[in-house]
Every structure is written in structure tokens, then in C-alpha cells.
Amino acid sequence: MTVRVIGVLERHTYDGWLWIDAYQLGDTGDAVQRRELYLMPAGVQWVDPPRLTARRRPIRRTVLTVGP
């Protein structure tokens, strides 16, 4: 399961374990479900996030001059 970590939850756990709040990612890297996971950080594999395939359109800005 690949997840995007949102944060660490403040819950009582055993030494070396923790609760995280995360989004489960689908095949395209999009969040498909929010999850709370109990895990041992030593067993986690960190991976690079998938590259985005879609590009955002540039924002067009209009310059205005205000004055006398």
C-alpha cells in the first residue's frame, strides 16, 4: 500500500510504533481513501512521489495602472 502521510496522531502506543493519518494512493498517484495506520517507522519504505502527467495552465495576469 502506498500512502501520502498527512500527520502523526497523538495516541498512546508501544515503544517504536506510531499512528499516522494518511491518504492511500491509487495507481496514478491520486488519493483514493483516507486512512489511519498503526505502524513501526523502521519498517517503512520511503519512495519518491509519482510525477504528475497533467500540466497546469499558466495564469494570465493583467497589469493595471492606478493613478491620477
Mean pLDDT by 10 residues, the chain (68 residues): 90 92 88 93 80 66 62
Question: Which residues lie across from 18 on neighbouring strands?
Answer: 39
Q: Could you give the angle at the alpha carbon of 34 between the alpha carbons of 28 and 35, nearest 5°?
A: 115
pLDDT at 56: 66
What are the extents of the domains in the chain?
Answer: 3-43
pLDDT at 29: 82
For the question of whether the overall pTM of this predicted structure is more than 0.85, the answer is: no
3-state secondary structure of 65: coil
